[in-house]
Amino acid sequence: MRSPSYPVMPVRALRPLVVLALAAGLATAAPAARAQPEDGDATAATPAASATAAKPYMGWTSWSMQSSKYPGLNPNGDYSYLTEANVLKQTDALAAKLKKYGYEYINIDAGWWRDYAWTPEFDKYGRQQADPVRFPSGMKPVADRIHAKGLKAGIYLPVGLEKEAYGGGKVPIWNAAGCTTADIVYDDLRTTNGWDSAYKIDFSDPCAQKYIDSQARMFADWGYDFLKLDGVGPGSFKSGDNYDNVADVAAWQKAISATGRPIHLELSWSLDIGHAGDWKKHSNGWRVDTDVECYCNTLVSWENSVDDRWDDTPAWTRHAGPGGWNDLDSLDVGNGEMDGLTKAERQSYATLWAIAKSPLYTGDDVTKLDSYGLSLLTNREVIAVNQGDAPPARPVTPSDPQQVWAAENHDGSYTVALFNLADRPASVTADWSTLGFTGKAAVRDLWNHESLGTHKDRITQALPAHGSRLFTVTPHGDALTWTGIEAESPANTLGGNASVADCAACSDGHKVGNLYTGSELTVNNVVVDKAGTYQIKVAYVSGDARSAEISANGGGATRHKFPSTGDWSTVNSVHVPVTLKAGSNTITFDSGSGYAPDIDRIDVPKSS
């Protein structure tokens, strides 16, 4: 930060916040078999406006370059990249290079109403107004210029009434006779949002909705098609009543609807998954994680924080769908030097975003895409995965740095991504049994536009450090048959604290929980015909990411990671390799010294 007088708004990737996030994570990592009420619709999103966000949106955002210390980007101080000239320059470049691939939004991020010293400016109704130095033409002409290129325009606001807009409570609300800023906040001027930069709005007073209406009306009049509402809680590293902005989001949805203009409403950042139902109900997308930007000399870095997404996305997967998508943040893969990533990292970044069906918006300097970056951003086969109608991929073998993610497509083929998240090259194998079939399958390499022929039972590829491959796998074999065994079967053996618990979402209504500190579940009499390594399917419930040590027949155990299922009432399944002998086997899930997920059941393929 250039000056301590800055409000703390934009920087959110800094260490103290991360520490807070970690502490919060720990606090939720306690009991094993805790039931929570279902948080709304668990299948498809209920679109706020079905025409909006039918597919993940594609475009460009100003924030990555604003937030970077890359030489020359922000000559007038932090975040100063955001200017009318730069936005229009990027608009022209996007229209020329990327529009034909589906990129259409030009999103102006934080600061359009702030001068280079970050002092905000408001109109006489307490609404943000364009900084005349950054945007000398004003915001409407910019939107017009964007539209003239056949693109859509996006704008940004923090949630709440910004403190500087309060004006001693005397500022009138536009088109709301008798309402002033004093009416829309709490008497104690409690603050809200991820930076505590605004007073929390009290929607019990009708004037509050009027204020949101006035802002929405203004954006609609200017012609904006997209609004990013930032600092929204629960989320944005905040929790508690003061930071519950569900009412704000609902008010925004209502206000947008009243304008009659379709405006995409995107929420930021690190939204609380416990409120996924609210976000789905009222918005078109939600940032599932902290900023991808590193606030460093490049736009991003692998460790801070691109790689977090592989851990944090799976819990959200089931919440994505037409009308509302899991937003993994900017896709900064267009210029290796500026991005601060290796080629392999850039491809993996683009692969995860594509298969998770995240919005695809780059924060790169579109005027300076390198040839590899351009190839990543414009690969039609990969874009089709993101924009197609198949569900987002989820991890099928997530237990070590060599992961496979997959989604079944409507035509019976699979989108399969191989990832090597390790810091060194490694081979990664996708076993067809983890996709539910056996035998042969045709493999298409999407990144390299190449058919790789038929592969029997599996495909193995060498991947560079942090590397990936992306395939379409078309089965020509047989569906796999499974032998299912319920964890709660009385034939199994429980050790330590392990116990059977009710579980509405689980098969047969029960699971085994309380697998912590030296507790174990041994599934007895797992019968296979042939000795071999089997990818067993483990259905489990885990409100946070956990691990279990899994072994067969009392042999050496391997520690496997289980991604969070998002809450304690949702079942997911992953596959873990277990080496079995012909005949009867035992498979043990041991918590070790930590906490293991609750186990619903296992399914063992009838052939390895």
Partner 1 sequence: MNPRPTDAGRDPDGDPAGDLNGDPGRDPGRDPSRRTALSLAATAGLTLALGALPAFTASAAPRRPADTAPLTGTSHDELWWRAPGDEGSLIEQGLPVGNGRLGALASNDPGRELLLITDATMWTGGLNDTLDSDGQFPYGRDDFGSFTLLARLTVDIPDHDLSGVNGYRRALDLAQGVVTSSYVRSGVTYRRQIFASHPDDTIVLHFTQSGGGRYTGSVTLEGTHGEKPSHAGSFGASFPNGLRYGAAVTAYGSGGRVRVNGTRVDFSGCTDLTVVVSGGTNYAPDADSGYRDPTLDPEKLARTKVLAAARHSADTLRRTHIADYRRLYERFTLSLGTSTDAQRSLDTWQRLTARARDGVPDPELEAAYLQFSRYLMISGSRDSLPLNLQGLWLDGNDPDWMGDYHTDINIQMNYWMADRAGLSPCFDAFADYCLAQLPSWAELTHGLFNDPRNRYRNSTEKVAGWTVAFSTNIHGGSGWWWHPASNAWLSNSLYEHYEYTQSRAYLAKIYPLLKGACEFWEARLLTTTLPGTSGEVLIDDRDWSPEHGPQDAKGITYAQELVWALFGNFAAAAAELKRDTAYAETIASLRKKLYLPEVSPKTGRLQEWMSPDNLGETTHRHLSPLIGLFPGDRIRPDGSTPQEIVDGATALLTARGMNSFGWANAWRAACWARLKDADTAYQLVVNNLRPSTDGSNGTAFNLFDIYEVEKGRGIFQIDANFGTPAAMSEMLLYSRPGHLELLPALPDAWAVSGSVTGLAARGGFVVDLRWEHGVPTSVTIRSVGGRTTTVAHGSTSRTVRLAPGGSVTLKGFAR
Taking CA atoms, 251 is separated from 19, 156, 201, 386, 457, in Å, by 32, 16, 10, 30, 52
**Minimum distance of partner 1 from residue 310's CB (angstroms):** 17
Give 493's strand partners: 522
> What is the phi-psi region of residue 129: left when phi exceeds 0, alpha when psi lies from -120 to 50, beta otherwise?
beta
Indicate the burial class of 436 (C-beta count within 10 angstroms; 0-12, 13-18, 19 or more). Answer: middle
Shortest distance (Å) from residue 300 CB to partner 1: 19
CA-based nearest residue to 199, from 126, 286, 289, 279:
126
- Partners of 427 in the β-ladder: 462
- Minimum CB separation of residue 294 from partner 1 in Å reads 20
Residue 453 or residue 490: which is nearer to partner 1 going by CB? 453
Nearer Cβ to partner 1 (48/333): 333
Q: CB 388 → partner 1: shortest distance, Å? A: 23
**Least gap, CB of 553 to partner 1 (angstroms):** 9
Neighbours of 495 (CB within 10 A): 14
- Counting DSSP H helices and E strands in the chain, the numbers are 13, 32
CB of 180 or CB of 399, closer to partner 1? 399
Please, which residue, 191 or 420, has the CB nearer to partner 1? 420
Nearer to partner 1 (CB atom), residue 136 or residue 425: 425
- What's the half-sphere exposure (Cβ side, CA atoms, 13 Å) at 518? 1
Closer CB to partner 1, 258 or 426, in the complex? 426
Give me the least distance between CB of 426 and partner 1, in Å please.
Answer: 5
Residue 105 to residue 147: CA distance in whole angstroms: 10
Nearer to partner 1, 425 or 509 (CB): 425
Residue 476 beta carbon to partner 1: minimum distance, rounded to whole angstroms: 19
For partner 1, give the closer residue by CB, 15 or 424: 424
Characterize 500-528 residue by residue with b for buried, 16 or more Cβ atoms within 10 angstroms of its Cβ, and e for exposed: bbebebbbeebbbbbbbeebbbbbeebeb
Q: Give the binding site for partner 1 (CB under 8 A).
A: 343-344, 347, 423-427, 445, 447-448, 450, 452, 460-465, 467-469, 531-533, 555-556, 558, 579
Give the nearest distance from C-beta 398 to partner 1 in angstroms: 18
Across 568-596, b (16+ Cβ under 10 Å) vs e yields bbbbbbbbbbbbbeeeebbbbbbbbeebb
